[in-house]
Amino acid sequence: MGEGLVVVVVFIVFVIVTLAKGIRIVPQGEEWIVERLGKYHDTLHPGLSIIIPYLDRVAYKLVTKDLILDVQEQEVITRDNAVIVTNAIAFIKVTDPIKAVYGVVDFSEAIRNLIMTTLRSIIGEMDLDAALSSRDKIKARLRESIADEAVDWGLAVKSVEIQDINPSESMQKAMEAQASAERERKAMVTKAEGTKQAAILQAEARLESARRDAEAQVTMAEASAEAIRRVTSALGGGDASMRYLLGEKYLGALNHLASSDNAKTIVLPADIQDAIRGMFARAKE
């Protein structure tokens, strides 16, 4: 009696375990791959499904919602031998579970590596300035390049976004040094232009000053000539006019010497008396 009860209990447990193994409830957003005796047998879709226990097993559980794959940061060399650091993020979806599990060992890792290698190839064909300023172009080419491979693996690439694309630390230092040198060059050019303009203005000022001095000298010479002509005309010409002008110069010079604070001694010309006498004598006539 006791052995019979044990057998019944064992049978009941066996039935429960069998039913538990045979009944599968697939949640929404997933698909399960069933293998029978190690070979693909069926794909279970969301909802209640029945499999044969001990012959069938759920080998893979795939998420059919959009997957987010973070592509790790890497250094890439551009066409002009500049080093930049870039990373990306990909949005993919499993469209064919059979290809996704049997077409590649790990489709997530495969997509990551494919994006990394393709990204290096694309940026390697571009100059540094183009790579830093053409994020949308790189993204479009990247998505186009990996689309065919993704289809073979049962995947659809929804989008690939370039998160960061920056010069490496050493390149940043070199670019900062270049920018500093360029600023210094512009400052030197500006200073040289200023010095040049100042020199030009100074030369023009000297030229204008010399021209005006020359005009003043010509005017003074013409005035002197006119004064001489009038004195000559008034005195009747001859030595009288010459003596008058010399006497006038002598008196002007004496007046200047007498008014000077530093004047201690006044030297008179020997013929000043004759000159003055002649000037006044002529004036009386």
Same domain, 58 and 75: no
Number of domains within the chain: 3
Same domain, 72 and 106: yes
Same domain, 59 and 98: no
Angle between helices 107-124 and 135-152 (to 10 degrees): 140
What is the extent of the structural domain holding 26? 19-63
Same domain, 45 and 114: no
Same domain, 74 and 157: yes
Residues 217-271 pLDDT 10s = 878 777 777 766 766 666 565 555 556 666 666 666 666 666 656 555 555 555 5
Determine, yes or no, domain membership for 276.
Answer: yes
Instruction: Among 151, 172, 193, give the residue marking a domain's end.
Output: 172
Residues 167-186 pLDDT 10s = 877 666 666 667 777 777 88
Determine, yes or no, domain membership for 9.
Answer: no
Average pLDDT, 10 consecutive residues per value, the chain (285 residues):
72 81 89 91 90 89 90 87 88 92 90 91 87 85 87 90 80 67 79 84 84 81 71 61 61 62 55 54 48
Determine, yes or no, domain membership for 184.
Answer: no
Determine, yes or no, domain membership for 39.
Answer: yes
Same domain, 117 and 43: no
User: What pTM, to 2 d.p., does this model score?
Assistant: 0.57
